[in-house]
Each structure stands twice: as C-alpha cells, then as structure tokens.
Structure 1
Amino acid sequence: MTRDATTIGVLIGDGASILEVAVAPRVFEIDHGPRGGPTFELLTAGERPGPLATTGGITMSAPHPLAALDRAGVVIVPGWRRPGGPPIAAPVRKTLVRAYDEGATVVGLCLGAFVLAEAGLLDGRRATTHWVCLREFTERFPKVEVVHDALFVDEGRVITSAGSAAGLDACLHLLRRDHGTAVANATARALVVAPQRAGGQAQFVERPVPAFGHDDPVTAAMRYALEHLDDTALDIDRLAATAHLSRRSFDRRFREAAGCSPLQWLLHQRVLRAQHVLSTTDLPMNAVARASGFTDGVAMRPHFRRLVGVPPQSYRESFRAGPPPAG
C-alpha cells in the first residue's frame, strides 16, 4: 500500500487529552489548494474499536479502524493516557513500527512520546515530552537522549513535542519543513497563533521546591541559598561554609545530590526567581536582577536567555498577568 505525504493519520488512545486530540485535525483540515498548496486527507483512527474516553468526561469514537493508518504518510499520536498504565497493545506498536519502516513520519505530541518510545522508535534518538514527566521518561527509556528544554524535537522522520500547546508548534514546524513557510504561516494565521514561538519549555516550568532533609548539609545549603538569593555576594564558598564542608567536598557532595554543579544550580535558582519577579511585578529590569541576586540587568540577561530561551523583556511580555508597565 502506497503512503501519501498529504495523508495524515491521527491515532487516538483511550484516555487521551481532548485538547491534544484536536490539534492535528485542526492544523491539517485547512485546505491550501486554492493558493497552490496541499490539500490533506485526515484519517483519525482509534487504538481499538468502540468509544474512547478522553479528558473532561468526553467520549468519542474514531471514524476509521487502526488499519487505515497504513495509508498515512504522517502518523500523529496525541497525548495518551498518563504514564504508568498498561503497555500499548501489540497492534498499535506494529502499526507505528510499520509506518516508520515504510517511510512515514511519526509524531508524538506531549505524552504521545511515551507511546513512540514504547514502540522502540525513539531508541538512539533525541526526544522530548511534557516537562512534568521528563524525569519519568528519562528513567523508563534510557536509550533515548532526552531534551529537557525544547518545544519540539525533529529527528527527521520522528518528531516529539512538549506540552499541549507545543503540539501546535510541532505540527506547524512539520508543515513548514515539508510544505514551505507560506503554508505554515497561512495555517498559523487561520489559528491565530504565532507561526514560530521562540524559546523552549523551560519558560513554562514551575519553580521546583527541593525536598530538604533535616541533617543533610547540602540541602541545608540549598535552603540557605533560596533564603538569600537577593544577596549578590552569595557565592559557592559561602554555601560551602554554611554546609561546614570544604569547597572540594561541597562540590562533590552537591553534584551527587543535585546532578549538577553548585554554580549551575545557583544560577538556575536565580533565573527562576527572576522569572517569578518578571511575571508578578512592574519592577524595572535592574531591580528584577538585584532581587534575583544579579548585579544588574546586563549581568542577568545572558544567563536568563541561556536557561529560559528568551530575553527577560520578552518573557515579561508573554507572562505578565496585567497590562505592560508604562514607559
């Protein structure tokens, strides 16, 4: 059976997110034929026959059987049920592997990346998923190179995306890559979304709260750091002294506990503090920097952009709850 690049298969699993189920059909239902672009055929199939549960108590029935996906040149798997449930059924696994082997592009949106990984399609490849589940994804699939700060990851004929809205980014990217910028931009205009968002999913990650122990010197130093983040003189030597450890011992024990160097962790916490201040106050940029432990906005900017993916001002414009500050 010949696979057509303009035939888009969408595989719905029982317990899928209703928002993510709707992403691919909405993106690919737009007819670009009148402008000389592609017209897509949509084949939405269920993992099994019969009604399928989705979020919000909504039940739906897919119009096509699983076998219909054997015609699709692109097979998209929206966010599946939460990880930790039963493994995907053998027919689903075989359908996805067969699609890839026959030249189709396979896409996992959000938790759909877990399905692709279970099918073995991500082994030896880079991939991402929703930030909440990145640790579990990393532990369950050690053969996958997990990208923690990306809205989507393109590995050629395998694409994975982060959270729900990032599914739109991944589908628009697929349109842009395979059918041109004009088609992707026209679709984005129809959906009233940005054709291409800057930054990764780090800008959407909530501030982590470390689980402090009572007697561990490293976690005590972490607690001290979080209580004194606005002190620009706070450095690693001071944290080591707080932990009553030599600098060398502190560095070693900190890496064992946190998986990164003390300086990397401290800079990350300061950037997280800056994100919070930017999104909740009207403070000028230099004041935001000082409240986060940087000497000024110039010193904060490169660290913020490296970790979050966008400049501080762009972050504020995207995430501030109220109107932008005057001036």
Structure 2
Amino acid sequence: MAVLLLDRPAMFELSVAIEVWGNDRTALGVPYSEVRLCSNVGPVLQVAVGCEITVRHGLEALDWADTIVIPNGDLTTPAVDYDPEMVDALRCAHQRGARIVSFCSGAFVLAATGLLDGCTATTHWAYAKQFRARYPGIDLREGVLYTCGDGMYTSAGTAAAIDLCLHLVREDWGAEVANTIARRMVVPPHRDGGQAQFVEQPVAASADVEGDLRAVLQWVEGHLDRQLTVDELARRAAMTPRTFARRFKAATGTTPLQWILNQRVAAAQRMLETSTASVDAIAAQIGFGSAAALRQHFTRVVGSTPSAYRAAFRHAA
C-alpha cells in the first residue's frame, strides 16, 4: 500500500491509514501489509500543527502499490494546477488495476485525474458545493459515508475514513479480520451514514467484557441456536432481570436482546464467508429459526441480503 501525501497533509486521515494497515497484528490473525508513505512535494512535508514528516518515497511507489490512499487534497490549488506527473501516475496505477482510495478532500485529487467522471463519489459535506462546481460530471453523494466503484473509493469527512477502511479490510480478508481491527480501534458500535453499507458493527464480544458478565456472554456465544431470554440470562448471572439489563447495557453499550441479535448476524457473516451451508441451515444453527427471519435481520443490520453478502465476500474467506 502507498499513502500519497500532498503538502500540509491531514494528520487524522493519514493516521487512520497507518492504524488500519501499518500496525503488525499478525498475532491476532490479521494479514501483514507493507505501507509506504510517498509524495511528489519533497522528502520533508510541513504539517498544519507545526511539525514535519519525512517521506522516503516518491511517486515511484505508486507503480508498486496495489492500494493507493490519498488522505486529503489542497483545496487552494485549482484542479488544472495539480502536478501533471502525479495525476498521470494515478491514472497509470488505476489502469494496471491498483485500487485508489480518497479520504475527505482527497476526492478532489482523485477527481482531477478524470477517473471519477460519470461515477459516484463523496467528500466532506463542507466541500460539496465546491466539488460540484469543479467537477459537474461526477455524481456527488452527500448522504453516504463512502462510495465504491470501478476500483475507486471515496469517503466523507474525517472519521468516515475509518468506515471505508473497514470495508476495504472486509473485501480483502473477511468480516472476522475487520471486526478484530475495529475492536482494537474501539470504534463506535454503530455508524449511520444514510446508506446500506457492509461496514461491520463491532459489538462487544465476551472477551471485551470484564467481571461477572463475561461467563454469561461466553455461554450465549456457544448457544446461539437456543431461544434465549433476558430472564434466563439473568438467572445465570444470579441477578434480577432489571439489574441484569442495566449492568449488561453498561458493559456492552446495548440491550441483551440486541446484543444477541448482533452476535447471530456476525455468526451468519462468518458462515456465509467460510462455508457452503444453505441460508436455511445457517438460520437454524444460529437461532433465527427460519431463513426469512435471518434475511430480515441480516438485511437490516448489514445492509445486504445473505445471498448478496456471500457473493461479495465469499472469496475473502
């Protein structure tokens, strides 16, 4: 992976790319990625907060990378004035099959290549008017966290870069790896961007919960095929249902029944990715009772039908 830095790069978006792909998490089952920072500006870049970044690679890194991330763009520079060598390098990378990703105002740089003409894209809402004025041939979507298409990906402002990164991780390595990274980053359990996306909702697992609730959650994770009630779980925790529900929400951020539902959906995702079991068989194994119930809840939580999810992510198993 190459991260293309312009002058005065945004530290948050740069850090997101490094946090997701630049940390060695092979001990947790996350495949290793080599990340190279590159720039056409110079070996030392000034950052807005008053520090400097030393960059070891130039545009030649774009010839090597299978994924190219553009954290932000310089909006004071007219599109026609973007470095022609950089623009050509991005076009060539896309032509050979590299995936190009922009965060926030990085969409302006990607748009300057002409590769987004006739496609959908997004950027920070504050730049929407400016983006439309510069690139009227691009279908700008303001109500989404990110867009995908033809090997190009754009994300909305700042934290939406995390959502897009998790989507890309899931495309490459599957839901289990994406969820591992999400929990390590402690991302919010829900991101509402007004669109159906495949982004994992990293609800707490039993290993994330301390104290006397952990054993109950571990038992639930091993018995998702059963019809589970709050009363039954409260008895196992030796608490009243009211106390159990209060303690449970404080520990996990959600209600017991919603947590169970999300665990079942996560189990369905893993089985759809890693097995050839039918939707009916998966529904029976994880406690939904019927394929219709699985489809209903899966579509609401994930934003895709089980069949469509399997078709999109089965290769990542």
- State TM-score, norm by structure 1: 0.56
Distance 1:117 1:106 in 2: 11
Letter in 2 for 1:175: V
2:171 alignment counterpart: 177
1:318 alignment counterpart: none
1:112-134 CA distance string (max 9 Å, x none): 00000001121111000000000
Higher alpha-carbon deviation: 60-69 or 101-110? 60-69
1:142 alignment counterpart: 136
1:284 alignment counterpart: none
Structure 2 stretches lacking a partner, 5+ long: 196-300, 302-317
Q: Is the 8 A contact 1:110 1:164 kept in 2?
A: yes
SS in 1 for 2:60: helix
Distance 2:19 2:30 in 1: 17
Work out which of the residue numbers 73, 87, 98 in structure 1 matches 2:92: 98
Work out which of the residue numbers 5, 9, 28 in structure 2 matches 1:16: 9
SS in 1 for 2:74: coil
Distance 1:49 1:146 in 2: 32
Q: Is the 8 A contact 1:53 1:59 kept in 2?
A: yes
Letter in 2 for 1:80: G
Q: Cα 1:195–1:100, aligned 2, differ >3 Å: closer, same or farther? A: farther
Larger gyration radius, structure 1 or structure 2:
1
Distance 1:187 1:166 in 2: 15
Q: Percent of aligned pairs with the same residue?
A: 37
SS in 1 for 2:14: helix
> Residue 93 of structure 1: CA displacement?
0.5
Distance 2:11 2:25 in 1: 26
Q: Cα 1:39–1:196, aligned 2, differ >3 Å: closer, same or farther? A: farther
| Matched residue count | 195
> Residue 82 of structure 1: CA displacement?
2.7
Aligned positions of 1:190-201 closer than 5 A: 190-194=184-188, 197-200=191-194
1:197-220 CA distance string (max 9 Å, x none): 22249xxxxxxxxxxxxxxxxxxx
SS in 1 for 2:88: helix
Letter in 2 for 1:41: E
Aligned positions of 1:17-96 closer than 5 A: 17-85=10-78, 87-96=81-90
Distance 2:61 2:181 in 1: 25
SS in 2 for 1:106: strand
2:103 alignment counterpart: 109
Q: Is the 8 A contact 1:172 1:195 kept in 2?
A: no
1:199-257 CA distance string (max 9 Å, x none): 249xxxxxxxxxxxxxxxxxxxxxxxxxxxxxxxxxxxxxxxxxxxxxxxxxxxxxxxx
Moved segments of 4+, more than 4 Å = 83-86
Q: Cα 1:117–1:83, aligned 2, differ >3 Å: closer, same or farther? A: farther
1:258 alignment counterpart: none
1:297 alignment counterpart: none
Distance 1:89 1:157 in 2: 22
- State TM-score, norm by structure 2: 0.58
Q: Is the 8 A contact 1:17 1:81 kept in 2?
A: no
Q: Is the 8 A contact 2:29 2:177 kept in 1?
A: no
SS in 2 for 1:57: coil
Aligned-pair Cα RMSD in Å: 2.0
SS in 2 for 1:41: coil
1:129 alignment counterpart: 123
Distance 1:83 1:186 in 2: 38
